[in-house]
Amino acid sequence: MATMEFKGIAASPGVAIGPIVVLPQIQALVNYRELAANWEIEWEIERLERALSATKEEFAAARAEMDHTLNDFSSLFDAYILLLDDKLIKQRTRLTIEKQKVNAEWALNLTLNQAEQLFADITDAYIKDRFRDIMAVIDHIMRHLSEDLSPEFNMQEPSILVVHDLTPADIIRLNTSMILGLATDQGGPTSHTAIIAKALGLPAVQGLEKISSSARNGDKAIIDGAKGLLLLSPSQPEIDFYQDQQIAYRLYLEKITALADLPSHTLDGVQVEVGANIEMLEEIASVHKFGGQSVGLYRTEFSCLSFNRQPTEEEMFDNLRQLALGLNGLSATVRTLDIGGDKLAGFTARGDEINPNLGLRGIRYSIKDRPFFLRQLRAILRASHYGKIRIMFPMVASAEEIIIAKQCLQEARDSLRRQNLPFAGQVETGIMIEVPAAAIAADILAREVDFFSLGTNDLIQYSMAIDRNNEQVKALYQPLHVSILRIIRQVAQAAREAGIDFNMCGEMAGNPRYTPLILGLGVHKLSMSPVIMPRVKEVVRQVNLEYWQKVAEEAINLAAVDQVEALLAFHLKNQMPDLFGGE
Ligand code: PEP
Ligand code: MG
């Protein structure tokens, strides 16, 4: 049988090779049974009640058992438990059993269909997202009704789990020692599954669309988590190739962990700070393990997302206090909520936007939802009492936005003072430079802030006018485009002249091939995914800054990205043959 290749979204790096276990969508297994006698009806209602109680116990136990790694998701279970008692599920299903005289599974499935119809006409993104929760809860009740044991309990050997979608509750139940990797039809790189898979170190590919209906139990497969690939029924040469890749990845992890604490200065002695981008408290361990010198970006979207509603000040404070304490004196740049665009559509009741990437995103949303913004600012300030915290505003396009944000910050400070709640006297305030307007006016914006952080992910998207998640224009997502290189250099210069701190935190900062060029463009502080930090530091130690400044000068005058690529390849090979000689 020929190999079938499925291309999805890279959710968590690593290679997994092994047999597949497919977790079927439970609805596909539901049978119809008509009830003739009254006692049968009573019996089905009793079965439903038992399944509801068992599901409740399951959620409560999962919440209690949840280890520190997945702590952020606990409040989701509270929401699930509330749904179990909601009349939308319980009463409707009971009524259907009584009135239509059908078995509990069939009635529950009808409830799901009715809920789907109910939500179909709703345009409010937040409310619409609740349908996913209902689906997840019904799925769990159904499993109890059909006494279906989850496949991980039946797994005879370590396997790749293939599933249509995975709820946080599913993940808690996973016996991860038996799971080699995860592949799902749905989801993307910022989904719960991706975040949890990364935190657990499981290779994962998502958004494969039809993998759960194409694969069969026992089929052999390979997951390449970094490339977002799944190979179904691979050939022996492919298996051999990926086994080598797997070994290489393991060796690489061992090697870089050993290198983590080595210094990061260039050959000519310029210090380069290498920090981490994280979104979960569970990743603090990786910051230390891989030798992070700071947290250059703490994205607050994910800790907020885990609540499925706006978190309270206390909830945000608790999360940030743990961050501050866990970093043992390293500084953390906490970014206020960067909602909108492709992120967190369900958090706000903002309705559909035709073009969300150009809509109510980042600081624009915060300014509009001032009560929430103030709560978040108070939480960040309060956390600053426990460690080194800086505040950063995302998606800033103009000085007015900074001024309003700083007024809010002052209001938050005043209110904390009135309540005698402690916070640090000096909390640096900065902005992301990720909108071209801000980059162009960087010298003016620099007057308002203590630091800049360059977000290349959005900067490239907005400069090149391409949606960073759109397959059709993916080829135009070009970090080495001359305009991007020029913007980087210009913003670095503006920051230097204004005497403010300057960091780069987009994905580009975590690509070791780009490191020497980025340093040459004038960036001396980088933050990235923790696992890549030792590798970037290794490159930094081999950079002759003066040499790479000249290369950068040449690069910003080249018309084509291919030419920049060639220039880079030539100098990398020439300057760092042991690191890039094999290219
Ligand atoms: C960026 O835009 O480069 C960035 C770091 O922020 P995010 O990816 O969270 O939008
Ligand atoms: Mg961004």
User: Is 353 or 242 the better-scoring residue by pLDDT?
Assistant: 242
pLDDT band at 410; cut points 50, 70, 90: very high
What is the arithmetic mean of pLDDT over 375-384? 98
Q: Which atom of ligand 1 is nearest to the CA of 454?
A: 3
Gap from CA of 191 to ligand 1 centroid (Å): 15
Kindly report, residue by residue over 111-132, the tens digit of the pLDDT: 988 888 887 777 665 566 677 7
Burial of 572 (0-12, 13-18, 19+ CB in 10 A): buried
CB distance 434 to ligand 1 below 6 Å: yes
| Beta strands 4-7 and 229-232, pairing class | antiparallel
User: Is 438 or 174 the better-scoring residue by pLDDT?
Assistant: 438
- For residues 133 and 80, is the Cβ–Cβ distance under 8 A? yes
Burial of 442 (0-12, 13-18, 19+ CB in 10 A): buried
Gap from CA of 453 to ligand 1 centroid (Å): 10
Distance separating alpha carbons of residues 579 and 576, to the nearest angstrom: 5
Which bound ligand lies closest to the C-alpha atom of 488?
Answer: 1
Distance separating alpha carbons of residues 89 and 103, to the nearest angstrom: 15
- How confident is the model at residue 199, as a pLDDT? 67
| Beta strands 220-224 and 204-206, pairing class | unpaired
What is the arithmetic mean of pLDDT over 161-173? 71
Kindly report, residue by residue over 325-342, the tens digit of the pLDDT: 999 999 999 999 998 765
pLDDT at 290 over 80: yes
User: Is 97 or 27 the better-scoring residue by pLDDT?
Assistant: 97
Distance separating alpha carbons of residues 564 and 481, to the nearest angstrom: 8
CB distance 467 to ligand 1 below 6 Å: no
Distance separating alpha carbons of residues 178 and 171, to the nearest angstrom: 13
What is the arithmetic mean of pLDDT over 554-565? 97
- For residues 381 and 426, is the Cβ–Cβ distance under 8 A? no
pLDDT at 291 over 80: yes
CB distance 338 to ligand 1 below 6 Å: yes
- How confident is the model at residue 383, as a pLDDT? 98
pLDDT band at 323; cut points 50, 70, 90: very high
pLDDT band at 173; cut points 50, 70, 90: low
pLDDT at 306 over 90: no
DSSP 205-250: EE--SSHHHH--TT-EEEEETTTTEEEES--HHHHHHHHHHHHHHH
**Minimal-distance CA residue to ligand 1 atom 3:** 455
Contacts of 377 (CB under 8 A, 6+ apart): 336, 391, 408, 409, 412
What is the arithmetic mean of pLDDT over 198-220? 87
- How confident is the model at residue 81, as a pLDDT? 85
End-to-end CA distance of the chain: give it in Å, rounded. 33
- For residues 72 and 281, is the Cβ–Cβ distance under 8 A? yes
Closest CA to 524 of 547, 507, 501: 501
Kindly report, residue by residue over 355-366, the tens digit of the pLDDT: 878 888 999 999
Residue with tokens 């939308």: 88
Closest CA to 266 of 56, 547, 486, 553: 547
DSSP 531-544: GGHHHHHHHHTT--
pLDDT at 308 over 80: no
Structure tokens at 557: 């005058």
pLDDT band at 137; cut points 50, 70, 90: confident
Distance separating alpha carbons of residues 324 and 185, to the nearest angstrom: 37
Q: Which atom of ligand 1 is nearest to the CA of 458?
A: 2
CB distance 181 to ligand 1 below 6 Å: no
Q: Which of 299-303, 318-322, 371-375, 433-437 has the lowest mean pLDDT?
A: 299-303
pTM of the model: 0.75
Q: Where does 419-453 have alpha helices with state H?
A: 436-440, 442-445
Which among 184-198, 306-320, 545-559 has the top mean pLDDT? 545-559
Gap from CA of 433 to ligand 1 centroid (Å): 10
Which residues, by Cβ under 5 Å, contact ligand 2, an ion? 434, 455, 458
SS3 letters across 71-137: HHHHHHHHHHHHHHHCCCCHHHHHHHHHHHCECHHHHHHHHHHHHHHHHHCCCCHHHHHHHHHHHHH
Gap from CA of 458 to ligand 1 centroid (Å): 6
Distance separating alpha carbons of residues 499 and 360, to the nearest angstrom: 31
- For residues 287 and 278, is the Cβ–Cβ distance under 8 A? yes
Structure tokens at 390: 């800086």
- How confident is the model at residue 464, as a pLDDT? 95
Share of the chain above pLDDT 70, in %: 87
- For residues 197 and 12, is the Cβ–Cβ distance under 8 A? yes
CB distance 299 to ligand 1 below 6 Å: yes
Distance separating alpha carbons of residues 482 and 181, to the nearest angstrom: 38
- How confident is the model at residue 408, as a pLDDT? 98
CB distance 510 to ligand 1 below 6 Å: no
- For residues 196 and 161, is the Cβ–Cβ distance under 8 A? no
User: Is 529 or 353 the better-scoring residue by pLDDT?
Assistant: 529
Distance separating alpha carbons of residues 561 and 568, to the nearest angstrom: 10
Share of the chain above pLDDT 90, in %: 58
Q: Which of 115-129, 249-263, 281-295 has the lowest mean pLDDT?
A: 115-129
Residue with tokens 């906490």: 334
- How confident is the model at residue 131, as a pLDDT? 75
pLDDT band at 143; cut points 50, 70, 90: confident
Question: Annotated catalytic sites, by residue?
Answer: 192, 505
Is the domain spanning 38-146 CATH 1.20.59.10? The answer is no
For a mutational test of ligand 1's pocket, the pick from 343, 393, 434, 477, i.e. the residue with the most ligand atoms closer than 8 A to its C-beta, is 434
Structure tokens at 438: 């801000």
Contacts of 173 (CB under 8 A, 6+ apart): 58, 62, 150, 152
116: number of CA atoms within 13 Å, CB side? 9
- How confident is the model at residue 243, as a pLDDT? 96
Radius of gyration over every alpha carbon of the chain, rounded to an integer in angstroms: 26
Element of type H or E holding 404: helix 399-418
- How confident is the model at residue 167, as a pLDDT? 65
Distance separating alpha carbons of residues 393 and 38, to the nearest angstrom: 63
Asked if the domains 38-146 and 260-580 are classified in one and the same CATH topology, the answer is no
Q: Is residue 19 classed as helix, strand or coil in its secondary structure?
A: strand
Distance separating alpha carbons of residues 327 and 149, to the nearest angstrom: 41
CATH class of the domain comprising 4-26+152-251:
alpha beta
Q: Which atom of ligand 1 is nearest to the CA of 299?
A: 9
The β-bridge partners of 271 are: 265
CATH dotted code for 260-580: 3.20.20.60
pLDDT band at 104; cut points 50, 70, 90: very high
Q: Which of 179-183, 299-303, 501-505, 569-573 has the lowest mean pLDDT?
A: 299-303
- How confident is the model at residue 507, as a pLDDT? 87
Distance separating alpha carbons of residues 524 and 439, to the nearest angstrom: 18
CB distance 340 to ligand 1 below 6 Å: no
- How confident is the model at residue 347, as a pLDDT? 59
Q: Is residue 274 classed as helix, strand or coil in its secondary structure?
A: strand
The β-bridge partners of 526 are: 274, 504
Question: Which residue ranges make up each domain of the chain?
Answer: 4-26+152-251, 38-146, 260-580
